[in-house]
């Protein structure tokens, strides 16, 4: 177990109040450090990063980024309809796959414009064409980007541009999907130099497809968080209201969802009922409960629902856009909350089993131009204090992959993006009030604010830098993995 200096015992402290003392003699390079961890009891990640379910942070694009780089994204629920949220799940599931089941299909009567519509929505152009535009009818052909890229007339019917069935090389379901043999499908794809391979059943109906671009993506992102079918994994957040959460989770499950964070700024009882319902009806889903911030809360949840809960989210009010602590006088200093909750979970492990801790909120890195205070190494500190993963909002909201546009801020003389707390009036006016349990109340007390965060460019550059930074921090202390860090970190107070 990590050593917490006596001056920190039973005290409130933030990440900025502590430091990790290197007292080994490292004899290995940064790249030897392995950040593999558990997000939930069953789900391993190669990168301990989770993107927050906030409407200025995680939709499909961010969830794809996070999963490709070994972390995981949790898609927010502040949409006007459940279906809009599920579409974001579908984007992730379709992004990179082995066999793509239920592929999007069109009919010969659809137009070139409809193919562009598919690309806008899902990000690809290759579409099998079936007689009536559903998966129930026979395959008629395929349209790919090559077939339409020079077409000016958007109303051209697909029957005029598609490669017809008789010219298509297809694979049989019995020789690929039925044997779960992705290699066989990849072999046919490569041998024939195809962009897309369609798999059909004996009635000539489309069962699945395999795309060459997916194979290349698989090779490019070795850390990616994928399921058995090589599809990226993703989670959604659902409100702590049984009726609506039930509908949301059911639809998400049908779309291939991997888990749910039952979301509330402070955990409450209805979450346990929802979690129980999920475990009984969708045993494959991972369920995260929260938020908690004390050993007492951890104990209560484990006692009442350890079998329904696969991870605990820790943090009440430490986030960059949070004002819960100022407004309601509740919550606590995040680093001490993570320590206490992780300690309690560890203490109760022999009785209730392993319970991963997610350190949610308050993670910052130095911002050269000035707005954020420099708090280097917050991620490593959270891990050293016992968290298996860190959940981040403000740090990721400035990336290209978060929702919303970047803009030039004349006061600060730099590019920024908007970041808003889900308990801000602005977010609540959309839908966010459910997280704060006040949707029916006339008087709304905001628990969050709207801020600007520095624009940070592409996440495909930024996240690898962050990963390297955390690895370097472990290497400096002589730890090759998170387990060693958590067992032997030397955590001491910094002078105020």
Which residues have a catalytic role annotated?
Answer: 322, 435
Total residues binding ligand XMP (CB under 6 A)? 25
Query: Among 391, 482, 489, 491, which residue sits at the site for ligand XMP (rule: CB under 6 A)?
Result: 391
Stretch of 38-46, 118-126, 357-365, 410-418 lying at the interface with ligand XMP (CB under 6 A): 357-365
Site string for ligand XMP, 413-432 (x = CB under 6 A): --------xxxx--------
Contact flag: residue 448 with ligand XMP (CB under 6 A): yes
Is 360 a binding residue for ligand XMP by CB under 6 A? The answer is yes
Measure the CA–CA gap between 239 and 160, rounded to whole angstroms. Answer: 47
**8 Å CB contact between 382 and 352:** no
Contact call for residue 334 and ligand XMP (CB under 6 A): no
- Which residues are CB-neighbours of 76 under 8 A, at least 6 positions away? 52, 53, 54, 55, 57, 58, 59, 85, 237, 422
Selected from 37, 40, 47, 52, the binder of ligand XMP by CB under 6 A is 52
Q: How far apart are CA 18 and CA 490, in angstroms?
A: 10
133 lies in the binding site for ligand XMP (CB under 6 A): no
Q: Which residue sits closest to ligand XMP, CB atoms considered?
A: 448
Cβ distance to ligand XMP smaller for residue 143 or 337:
337
Residue 457 Rama label (left phi>0; alpha psi -120 to 50; beta)? left
| Interface with ligand XMP, residue 377, by CB under 6 A | no
> Exposure pattern of 418-441 as b/e (b: 16+ CB <10 Å)?
bbbbbbbbbbbeebbbbbbbbeee
**Binding-site member from 392, 416, 466, 467 for ligand XMP (CB under 6 A):** 392
What is the C-alpha separation between 389 and 399, in angstroms, rounded? 20
Residues 485/342, Cβ–Cβ less than 8 Å: no
Q: Under the criterion CB under 6 A, does residue 271 sit at the interface with ligand XMP? A: no
H or E element in which residue 172 lies: strand 170-172
Of 165 and 420, nearer to ligand XMP (C-beta) is: 420
SS3 content of the chain, % helix, strand, coil (to 5): 40, 20, 40
Binds ligand XMP (CB under 6 A): choice among 394, 402, 473, 486: 394
Using CA atoms, how far residue 204 sits from 130, 197, 228, 400, in Å, is: 10, 14, 26, 42
Smallest separation, CB 332 to ligand XMP (Å)? 12
Is 361 an interacting residue with respect to ligand XMP (CB under 6 A)? yes
Beta carbons of 229 and 98 less than 8 angstroms apart: yes
In the bound complex, what is the minimum distance in angstroms from residue 54's beta carbon to ligand XMP? 5
Span from 154-162, 208-216, 296-304, 313-321 in contact with ligand XMP (CB under 6 A): 313-321
Please give the residue ranges that form the binding site for ligand XMP (CB under 6 A).
52, 54, 265, 315, 317, 319-322, 324, 360-363, 391-395, 421-424, 447-448
């Amino acid at each position: 177990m990590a050593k917490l200096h006596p001056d920190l015992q039973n005290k409130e402290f933030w990440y900025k109040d502590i430091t990790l003392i290197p007292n080994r003699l490292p004899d290995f390079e940064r790249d030897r450090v392995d950040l593999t961890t558990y997000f939930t009891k069953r789900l391993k990640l190669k990168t301990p990063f989770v993107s927050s379910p906030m409407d200025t942070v995680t939709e499909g694009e961010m969830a794809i980024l996070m999963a490709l780089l070994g972390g995981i994204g949790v898609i927010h629920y502040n949409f006007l309809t459940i279906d809009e949220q599920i579409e974001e799940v579908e984007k992730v599931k379709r992004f990179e796959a082995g066999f793509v089941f239920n592929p999007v299909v069109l009919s010969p009567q659809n137009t070139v414009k409809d193919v562009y519509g598919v690309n806008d929505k899902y990000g690809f152009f290759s579409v099998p064409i079936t007689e009536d535009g559903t998966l129930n009818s026979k395959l008629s052909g395929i349209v790919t980007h090559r077939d339409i890229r020079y077409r000016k007339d958007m109303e051209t019917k697909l029957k005029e541009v598609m490669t017809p069935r008789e010219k298509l090389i297809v694979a049989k379901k019995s020789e690929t999907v039925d044997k779960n043999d992705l290699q066989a499908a990849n072999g046919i794809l490569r041998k024939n130099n195809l962009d897309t391979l369609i798999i059909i059943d004996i009635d000539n109906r489309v069962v699945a497809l395999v795309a060459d671009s997916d194979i290349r993506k698989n090779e490019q992102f070795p850390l990616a968080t994928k399921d058995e079918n090589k599809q990226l994994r993703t989670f959604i957040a659902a409100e702590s209201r049984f009726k609506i959460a039930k509908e949301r989770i059911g639809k998400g499950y049908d779309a291939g969802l991997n888990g749910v964070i039952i979301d509330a700024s402070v955990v409450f009882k209805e979450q346990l009922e929802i979690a129980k319902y999920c475990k009984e009806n969708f045993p494959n889903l991972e369920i995260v409960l929260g938020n908690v911030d004390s050993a007492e809360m951890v104990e209560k949840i484990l006692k009442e629902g350890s079998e329904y809960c696969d991870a605990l989210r820790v943090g009440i009010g430490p986030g960059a856009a949070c004002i819960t602590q100022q407004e309601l006088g509740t919550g606590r200093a995040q680093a001490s909350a993570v320590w206490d909750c992780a300690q309690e979970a560890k203490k109760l492990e022999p009785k209730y089993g392993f319970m991963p801790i997610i350190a949610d909120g308050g993670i910052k890195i130095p911002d050269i131009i000035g707005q954020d205070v420099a708090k280097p190494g917050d991620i490593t500190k959270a891990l050293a204090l016992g968290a298996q993963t860190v959940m981040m909002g403000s740090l990721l909201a400035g990336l290209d992959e978060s929702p919303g546009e970047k803009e030039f801020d004349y006061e600060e003389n730099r590019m920024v993006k908007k970041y808003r707390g889900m308990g801000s009036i602005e977010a609540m006016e959309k839908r966010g009030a459910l997280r704060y349990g006040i949707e029916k109340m006339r008087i709304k007390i905001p628990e969050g604010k709207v801020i600007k965060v520095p624009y940070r460019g592409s996440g495909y550059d930024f996240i690898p830098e962050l990963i390297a930074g955390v690895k370097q921090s472990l290497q400096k202390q002589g730890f090759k993995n998170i387990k060693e860090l958590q067992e032997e970190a030397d955590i001491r107070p910094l002078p105020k």
